[in-house]
Amino acid sequence: MPLFIGVDIGGTKVLATAVSSAGRVLRTARRETPGRRVEASLVEDALTAAVQEIAGTRRVGAIGIAAAGFVDAQGERVRFAPHLPWRDEGVRARLAERWSAPVVLDNDANCAARAELTYGAVGSAQDAIVVTMGTGIGGAVVLDGSVHRGYNGMAGEFGHMQVVAGGHPCECGGSGCWEQYSSGNALVRFARSRIGQQPTALRDLCDGDPDRLTGPMVTEAASAGDDVALQAFASVGDWLGVGLANLVAAFDPEIVVIGGGVSAAGDLLLEPARRAMRESLVGAEHRTVPPVVRAALGPEAGAIGAADLARQTFRSAGTRARARRRAARGTARHR
Amino acid sequence: MPLFIGVDIGGTKVLATAVSSAGRVLRTARRETPGRRVEASLVEDALTAAVQEIAGTRRVGAIGIAAAGFVDAQGERVRFAPHLPWRDEGVRARLAERWSAPVVLDNDANCAARAELTYGAVGSAQDAIVVTMGTGIGGAVVLDGSVHRGYNGMAGEFGHMQVVAGGHPCECGGSGCWEQYSSGNALVRFARSRIGQQPTALRDLCDGDPDRLTGPMVTEAASAGDDVALQAFASVGDWLGVGLANLVAAFDPEIVVIGGGVSAAGDLLLEPARRAMRESLVGAEHRTVPPVVRAALGPEAGAIGAADLARQTFRSAGTRARARRRAARGTARHR
């Protein structure tokens, strides 16, 4: 059996996985992402090293890449990636040639949603919203049982929906974007602003230096009942719910799945989100309000989804090729 | 040839139409909606009178109802309609029995989008956002060439997406809803607030009484170059663009279609909307920004779409029935 490999490439790290057809991660390899101000070939070297470590001497069926950036509708080019050096480059073909293997390419949040759809929390639902809360907010739309990529391949860019007129400036150039209020960055910003104002265990966790505070520290403190950390989750969860209400009003999905690092806090995040979503949602009393659940697959979701995309794409290609060969043999017999 | 009839029922009027297979309106009949605080049967009497006026003695193929309210995913029940007396009632079956004819039921904005998709401004696009700007904002999502209804039949409720935290209170119970800033009501509210502050032709148009000001008066004054009326369109158009940017970030459609009464102002509304949408849209420089165009079908769009839904539903039912009869004959022959 050939290996199907999924690789997740973000601004800081490369995670390569071999994934079974049941979605089980068989092996993983990690590399650091060389950065955004380097030659693109250096990033591709890191991808190659991780893929080689996974593949060894095994035959590779296909490789899926989950990239933190805008991938075009054809899955050929990375149009733009804020934390990577690719600028409208034909990454898929270049890697396929370099690796002499079939390669497929999609956005990382789409891949994570695909993993949740195939193996995870989407379950039997046909329509879902998947929100990935990491440093910022990523997202994907599942419609009729598959990930909806949109006309430019850019559907699901929920993080930059404006929720506060004239609000916090955002790196995207806009202001008041959802991820400025509900994300890992927002969580840390909220908590930092309270250190020094209220007694909090966070002060010790960051050794007295608010600049060293991280999201996982806030999660740890909140789990232990720290007031400031709980307030931070209440704020970020509340904003999560407000944005979800907007998405539910627009898409009317059957389920909402929250993934990404911040979702590790579970109900500390999701309870305020559910409450705020229900309060903000139009016609909540006249509809089935969708459940808001935590993603099932954790930080490997993007890589697992990329491997699944590779497997399904290659398997269908294989099926089509076999069908063509059968048809050709049939034609030959009937001649 | 049997008649296919579409009926649009809103808070103030009933519009019934007979529509050709090419989308041409053959006949229309109008009635007043009896109100929201009356027996539902009175509303159904008004619908019946309008349908009878259209049908006369002609054979009716099927009747489509476009209702201003939440229609369930099965197209059976009106779950809630703020301006009509229906409260979770099985309207479709009741009317079908009363009229002894096939009846289909959908939300009015979905029907209008269906009309724009089949005969109007959506053209050859497969994915579109259709926004209906009347008193408030209605909407619909076109995906893969058909109207996406959502898990509860409530997709496309764009008007109640929150765009201003702690903003204007809304009749829906929320606050800061999009339609509080971009709609016929918002247009009139803006213009009223300026009468008495600046010289404006609006003062004469409303006979000096701001309470008598209407949306069409603002459109008329803006078309004649009145500053206050133009400012009102600039504000409402700007907010339209901000909300559209959110929808485009989420859905990534090929085209955006703006219908409803306010869209009669054309570029007075759409130019500021296009500008604001482009400014707010994430990654605008890395994507094809969708064109924002005016709906093609005007105030009859809902009724035309309802008639088309009736025709397509009935035609497929007829096709299936014929196929079954053919299959039955085939089976009989082979026995």
Average pLDDT over residues B274-300: 95
Q: In this predicted structure, what is the pLDDT of residue B126?
A: 96
Numbered ranges of CATH 3.30.420.40 in chain A: 3-112+299-325, 123-294
The pLDDT assigned to A335 comes to 45
Q: What is the pLDDT of residues B193-242, one digit of tens each?
A: 999 899 999 999 999 999 999 999 999 999 999 999 999 999 999 999 99
> pLDDT tens for residues A136-172?
999 999 999 999 999 999 999 999 999 999 999 998 8
Exposure string of B222-260, with b = 16+ CB inside 10 Å and e = fewer, is beeebebbbbbbbbbbbbbbbbbbbbbbbbbbbbbbbbb
- Which of A70, A151, A250 is the closest to B250 by Cβ? A250
Domain with CATH 3.30.420.40 in chain B: 3-112+299-325, 124-294
Is B250 close to A157, i.e. CB distance below 8 A? Answer: yes
Angle at B209 between CA B204 and CA B210, to 5 degrees: 95
Closest by CA to B219, choosing from B210, B230, B208, B211, is B230
Instruction: Reply yes or no on whether the pLDDT at A206 is more than 80.
Output: yes
pLDDT digits (tens, 9 = 90+) for A46-63: 999 999 999 999 999 999
Measure CB to CB from residue A154 to each of B156, B164, B252 and give the nearest one.
B252
A-B C-beta contacts closer than 8 Å: 145
Report the residue from B139, B157, B282 with minimal CB separation from A160.
B282
Is the Cβ–Cβ distance between B309 and B267 less than 8 Å? no
**Mean pLDDT rounded to a whole number for chain B:** 93
In this prediction, residue B321 carries a pLDDT of 64
Q: Which CATH superfamily is domain B124-294 in?
A: ATPase, nucleotide binding domain (3.30.420.40)
pLDDT at A145: 95
- Closest A-chain CA to B142: A251
Residue A242 has pLDDT above 90, yes or no: yes
Q: How confident is the model at residue A82 (pLDDT cuts 50, 70, 90)?
A: confident
Share of chain B above pLDDT 90, in %: 87
User: pTM score, two decimals?
Assistant: 0.92
Domain A123-294 has CATH 3.30.420.40: yes
Distance from CA of B72 to the nearest CA of A (A): 9
CATH topology of domain A3-112+299-325: Nucleotidyltransferase; domain 5 (3.30.420)
Binary contact (A247, B242; C-beta < 8 A): no
d(CA A81, CA A78): 7
| Nearest-CA distance B194 → chain A (Å) | 22
Rounded to whole angstroms, how far apart are CA atoms A40 and A89?
Answer: 9
